[in-house]
A and B are shown apart, each in its own frame.
Chain A
Amino acid sequence: MSSAFDLALRAEQLGQLGRLAEAERAAREALAVDPENPRLLGTLSSTLLLAERYDEGLAVAEAACAAGPGLERPHRLRALHLSMLGRHAEAVQAGYAAVTIEPAEPAAAHGYAKVLQRAGRPLDAVRVATRVVELDPDSASAHLLLADVASDLKDRRHRELARREYETTLRIDPENAAAKHDLALLDARSRRPAKALAGLVQAGRLDPAMPQVLRTVVAVLWQLSWRVRIWLIVGTFPALAVAATPAVVVRSYAGFVLVATAALGWWTSRDLPRGTWPVLRRAVTTDRPLTVTYAALALCLLVYLSVVVTGFGLAAVAVWILLIALGWLAVFVRVVRRAPR
């Protein structure tokens, strides 16, 4: 029969492999042998944290704290469970207890930074995450943590810090899909949608099971559609202004709009990796309002094409109508999606 210590080691190993049911079983078997052991309680609590069973995990973490009040890990686990349950004030206290017990332990500081981040204290989180990097400079997860907490702050200095840290993470661990995804998100926020799309496709390749990649691609495509709408709104003013001029002028201007739109499209998509188009097509069809938006934008370009063919400048009014309708649609979608459920 395996000893409680063996079983705890096994539980931790299985937890690392994501086999949470087996890890939980091993941890509970170990606890049946030695129910007061804080290390075993910590192992079970950590497994429950990975399994997102925070209520149960918190109870076990509290038992671990009672069994070993001088140990750092039970306090850290308690803090993380409390944080996930939205009990931020208690979580911060527990996290602080963990770093007080072992100030030089990177895992303790890592947990505390996460707790501070979720508690809405990004500046403090950045300070603690910086300490994590100092304690463990070669760890990709330490740099990723600092990048994540820094990216929560909107100012330029922290954005630059986040970008540097994401890049360091990827230098240490080039296959880190989370870092790739988050860096792409940062690019999207910095209004670099093409770069963001390229990063997202690479993140998807590194970890195709990551569900948020396609959602982020949809968000970036909304951002791109906004750019195209702005360009078409701006472009339609002169189109209407020249509507009464000779047909050759009207045709030339409509042709210019089409060529400029194509050039903008090429400029945006020139660095996209191979195999991006199926992803974009899928993303557009996943989100119905986005499908409608891109269909309407394609219709706007068809209107311009008809102007090139017919020389009838007033047809550009249809572009205005379509863009106004799209504006309303975007407002409606935004309101509905931001409404609390």
Chain B
Amino acid sequence: MTDPLLTSLLAAVEAAPADVPLRLHVAELLLSRDRAAEALQHTSTALSHAPGDPAALALLQKVTKALADPPNPPTNPLPTVHPPTQPFPVRSLPQPTEGDPAAFDWGHAEEQVRDISPAPAFVAQEGDPVTEDVERATRPSVRLADVGGMEQVKERLELSFLGPVRNPEMARAFGKSAGGGLLLYGPPGCGKTFLARAVAGELGASFTEIGIADILDMWVGNSERNLRAVFDAARRKAPHVLFFDEVDALGQKRSHLTHSSTLRNTVNTLLAEMSGENAGVYVLGATNHPWDIDSALRRPGRFDRMLLVLPPDEGARAAILRQNLEKRPVEGIDLAKLVKATGHFSGADLTHLCDTAAERALADSMRTGQVRPLTMKDLQAALAEVRPSTGPWFATARNVALFADHDGSYDDLAAYLKKHRRL
């Protein structure tokens, strides 16, 4: 299927790749011949040479529409496109010769590359794996109901964040904003990331976890650029939950960063992006040290809601222990007793406890050559070895509740510490 006009025009485009009107003309011809994918490539190239060119933009719209709504199989023969009677306004076209690329058999070449998927129109810039993460993010299947125990946390989450987001009109009527971010804080290993996933699941939004390594770049300006790219990608992907893990590293108090203008600028960019137009983008953060976060990040519209995620309560501990033990050979496990003995253990500590007990049973089994199930004795021995890792966090948290709760930000923490006689 050769079209002499198109063949010669394509040769001309190849000879003069920066000629925008010529390329657009070719793209129009391709579109009229139902070769929208090729037309899109040419339109995109034209736009890269002349960004904002109105003719190119108009054509791009036509091409994307054609791609989105492929035409019905033609019932009538295609209208014939007559070659222009006048020479092309930009340049006179060379006549194709035998050795010219114009004489190249494009139809045959297309056949040869048919199995190669076409390149995307706009190639993501190299070095942006984090943007790719956002683009490829999926909706988590986990919901709040899948979080074992932690009823208080779930209730507060529903009241302070999910409720206003789901009912923005009602929230507005009561003077509450549905926007702004949510900061989850608490000792390490207590399921902040899992909760964030569950929030995304509840909102039916896709979810991306952003770590410090995704953003920080040693070259000046790149960290800020990465952060902006992440927010832009999330806006395109809305509804989307952007979850900043260990946000204290990215949003550290600027007064602590006097020696690093790069890090200070990163905090400034985070502040600016969070204050921007983020419809459909839910920003969640998690930190073990909310007191190290720049105070500007806690202002309205940014992380204006804080939620304390404490070590698992009895119900949650039972669920975690059961989950850790159910796939192992066990015998005579008194779960209630175990739950009582593991107060202040984080989820990670409970997993470590079960692993330690399993190691004992495994070692015994290997010695005797017979599988010995994991028993309460193994777990009690493990309990003597594994201490809750939340201790140092609570030691600092006590000071925080004492000194830094003048605005009521840490009321939940103070109440918990008082209840457990730690304050």
Segment at the A interface, from B107-115, B155-163, B250-258: B250-258
A214 to B398, CA, bound (A): 11
Most buried by B among A10, A207, A208, A278: A208
A282 at the interface (CB under 8 A from B): yes
Segment at the A interface, from B8-16, B118-126, B315-323, B401-409: B401-409
Segment at the A interface, from B18-26, B259-267, B328-336: B259-267
Contact B399 A208 (CB under 8 A): yes
Contact B218 A10 (CB under 8 A): yes
Say how far B285's CB is from chain A's closest CB, in angstroms.
Answer: 16
Contact A10 B216 (CB under 8 A): yes
Contact A19 B249 (CB under 8 A): yes
User: Which chain B residue has the least Cβ–Cβ distance from A214?
Assistant: B399
User: If A19-B249, A140-B258, A176-B255 touch, does A13 touch B403 (CB 8 Å cutoff)?
Assistant: no
B344 at the interface (CB under 8 A from A): no
Contact B252 A213 (CB under 8 A): no
B292 at the interface (CB under 8 A from A): yes
Say how far B421's CB is from chain A's closest CB, in angstroms.
Answer: 11
Q: Which of A255-291 contact B (CB under 8 A)?
A: 274-275, 278-279, 282
Q: Which of A23-40 contact B (CB under 8 A)?
A: none
Which residue of A6, A176, A204, A282 contacts B404 across the interface (Cβ within 8 Å)? A204
Q: Which residues of A contact B252 (CB under 8 A)?
A: 17
User: Which chain A residue has the least Cβ–Cβ distance from B246?
Assistant: A19
User: Which chain A residue has the least Cβ–Cβ distance from B255?
Assistant: A175
Q: Which residues of A contact B258 (CB under 8 A)?
A: 139-141, 173
Q: Which residues of B contact A340 (CB under 8 A)?
A: none
B233 at the interface (CB under 8 A from A): no
Contact A173 B255 (CB under 8 A): yes
Q: Which residues of B contact A213 (CB under 8 A)?
A: 399, 403
Say how far B16's CB is from chain A's closest CB, in angstroms.
Answer: 39
User: If A204-B404, A209-B292, A214-B402 touch, does A13 touch B216 (CB 8 Å cutoff)?
Assistant: yes
A17 to B262, CA, bound (A): 12
Say how far A237's CB is from chain B's closest CB, in angstroms.
Answer: 39
Contact A17 B263 (CB under 8 A): yes
Q: Which residues of A contact B259 (CB under 8 A)?
A: 16
A6 to B218, CA, bound (A): 7
Q: Which residues of B contact A275 (CB under 8 A)?
A: 403, 405-406
Over the window 197-216 of chain B, the binary record of Cβ atoms lying under 8 Å from chain A Cβ atoms (1 yes, 0 no) is 00000000000000010001
Contact A13 B406 (CB under 8 A): no
B291 at the interface (CB under 8 A from A): yes
B396 at the interface (CB under 8 A from A): yes
User: Which chain A residue has the least Cβ–Cβ distance from B295?
Assistant: A175
Contact B216 A208 (CB under 8 A): no
Say how far B175's CB is from chain A's closest CB, in angstroms.
Answer: 27
Q: Which residues of A contact B263 (CB under 8 A)?
A: 13, 16-17
Q: Which of A203-243 contact B (CB under 8 A)?
A: 204-205, 207-211, 213-214
B240 at the interface (CB under 8 A from A): no
B229 at the interface (CB under 8 A from A): no
Contact A204 B212 (CB under 8 A): no
Say how far B286's CB is from chain A's closest CB, in angstroms.
Answer: 15
Q: Which of B259-293 contact A (CB under 8 A)?
A: 259-260, 262-263, 289, 291-292
Shortest 3 CB-CB contacts between residues of A and residues of B? A204-B403, A9-B218, A175-B255
B400 at the interface (CB under 8 A from A): yes
B423 at the interface (CB under 8 A from A): yes
Say how far B181's CB is from chain A's closest CB, in angstroms.
Answer: 21
Say how far A130's CB is from chain B's closest CB, in angstroms.
Answer: 21
Q: Which residues of B contact A211 (CB under 8 A)?
A: 396, 399
Q: Which residues of B contact A205 (CB under 8 A)?
A: 403-404, 406
A201 at the interface (CB under 8 A from B): yes
User: Which chain A residue has the least Cβ–Cβ distance from B291?
Assistant: A208
Q: Which residues of B contact A17 (CB under 8 A)?
A: 212, 249, 252, 263
How many residues of chain B have a CB within 8 Å of chain A? 27
Which residue of B216, B403, B405 contacts A201 across the interface (Cβ within 8 Å)? B403
Say how far A239's CB is from chain B's closest CB, in angstroms.
Answer: 37
A201 to B402, CA, bound (A): 9
A278 to B410, CA, bound (A): 14
Contact A175 B253 (CB under 8 A): yes
Q: Which residues of A contact B291 (CB under 8 A)?
A: 207-209
Say how far A133's CB is from chain B's closest CB, in angstroms.
Answer: 15
Q: Which residues of B contact A209 (CB under 8 A)?
A: 289, 291-292, 396, 399-400
Q: Which residues of B contact A173 (CB under 8 A)?
A: 255, 258
A282 to B260, CA, bound (A): 37
Q: Which residues of B contact A139 (CB under 8 A)?
A: 258
A278 to B418, CA, bound (A): 12
A69 to B218, CA, bound (A): 27
Contact B399 A204 (CB under 8 A): yes
User: Which chain A residue has the least Cβ–Cβ distance from B257?
Assistant: A16
Say how far B249's CB is from chain A's closest CB, in angstroms.
Answer: 5
A210 to B289, CA, bound (A): 12
Over the window 186-209 of chain A, the binary record of Cβ atoms lying under 8 Å from chain B Cβ atoms (1 yes, 0 no) is 000000000000000100110111
A282 to B292, CA, bound (A): 23
A147 to B299, CA, bound (A): 34
Q: Which of B386-423 contact A (CB under 8 A)?
A: 396, 398-400, 402-406, 423
Supply 13 further A-B pairs (C-beta < 8 A) apart from A175-B253, A275-B406. Answer: A9-B218, A10-B218, A13-B260, A16-B259, A17-B212, A141-B258, A204-B399, A208-B291, A208-B400, A208-B402, A209-B291, A209-B399, A275-B405
A215 to B174, CA, bound (A): 45
Q: Which residues of A contact B253 (CB under 8 A)?
A: 175
28 A-B pairs in the complex with CB atoms less than 8 angstroms apart = A13-B216, A13-B218, A16-B257, A16-B260, A17-B212, A17-B263, A19-B249, A139-B258, A140-B258, A141-B258, A173-B255, A173-B258, A175-B253, A204-B399, A204-B402, A204-B403, A205-B406, A207-B291, A208-B399, A208-B403, A208-B404, A209-B289, A210-B399, A211-B396, A211-B399, A213-B399, A275-B406, A278-B402
Q: Which residues of A contact B402 (CB under 8 A)?
A: 204, 208, 214, 278-279, 282
Q: Which residues of B contact A19 (CB under 8 A)?
A: 212, 249
A208 to B262, CA, bound (A): 26
Say how far B66's CB is from chain A's closest CB, in angstroms.
Answer: 43
A10 to B252, CA, bound (A): 17
Q: Which residues of A contact B255 (CB under 8 A)?
A: 173-176
A210 to B253, CA, bound (A): 15
A10 to B404, CA, bound (A): 32
Say how far A202's CB is from chain B's closest CB, in angstroms.
Answer: 9
A275 to B402, CA, bound (A): 8
